[in-house]
Chains A and B, each alone.
Chain A
Amino acid sequence: DADVTQTPRNRITKTGKRIMLECSQTKGHDRMYWYRQDPGLGLRLIYYSFDVKDINKGEISDGYSVSRQAQAKFSLSLESAIPNQTALYFCATSDPGTGVYNEQFFGPGTRLTVL
């Protein structure tokens, strides 16, 4: 089945380290997103990309960067990790379809801990 995958699934790192979270999809969708989930705060959009040459900031992009290497791959980087970036990170994809907003399909998540 077509799916959205994320690597790694769990990561523990130290303050100041650079870390990359990777997302791959076999759904053939053009649109990809990165969210972080914190208890009591829901899902907050970090960055999104509507095609390979398109990158847009979301609600909370400070401290993060992204790269859209191909239609199927969208990576999130923390240039210098800090403890308040400890969270559950989700990648998601969607199909533009008819131009009306459509369902987003989420990956399994990456649990990141910054010590």
Chain B
Amino acid sequence: GENVEQHPSTLSVQEGDSAVIKCTYSDSASNYFPWYKQELGKRPQLIIDIRSNVGEKKDQRIAVTLNKTAKHFSLHITETQPEDSAVYFCAASFLSGGYNKLIFGAGTRLAVHP
């Protein structure tokens, strides 16, 4: 069935280090993969997304890579800062009954320590 698995569930890094969060999805037809960041007490907000026609996308300190053959995609944050501390959700699109919808991973709680 439709499923997105996300690892790790928690991640603790020192300021300046890199952080990597990985997701796998079940449907080979999925073609859109967004990442959302949710700060404490706030709403989720899109930080980066990638479509199936590209393998990598970068925006300043964040990047996402996609391996369609293996059905996994990853979020990379370089030079982490305390304000990167948040819960990060990956998602993948699934086509069901003619409608495209998102299935989210369970989330990764990232803590960046000064």
Contacts and interface: CB of A to CB of B under 8 A. Distances in A.
Interface string B1-27: 010001001000000000000000000
Given A42-B6, A42-B89, A108 B97 contact: no
Contacts of B61: none
A2 interface: no
A57 to B, nearest CB: 9
Interface residues of B, number: 26
Interface residues of A, number: 21
11 contacts: A42-B6, A42-B89, A56-B97, A59-B2, A59-B103, A101-B93, A101-B102, A103-B46, A103-B49, A104-B102, A109-B43
B34 A42 contact: no
Contacts of A48: 99, 101
Interface in A38-78: 40-45, 48, 50, 56, 58-59
Given A101-B93, A108-B43, A58 B101 contact: yes
A40 B106 contact: yes
Interface of A: 35, 40-45, 48, 50, 56, 58-59, 90, 100-101, 103-104, 106-109
Could you tell me the dominant secondary structure of chain B's interface residues? strand
Interface of B: 2, 6, 9, 31-32, 34, 42-46, 49, 51, 89, 91, 93, 97, 99-107
A101 B96 CA distance: 13
A101 B34 CA distance: 10
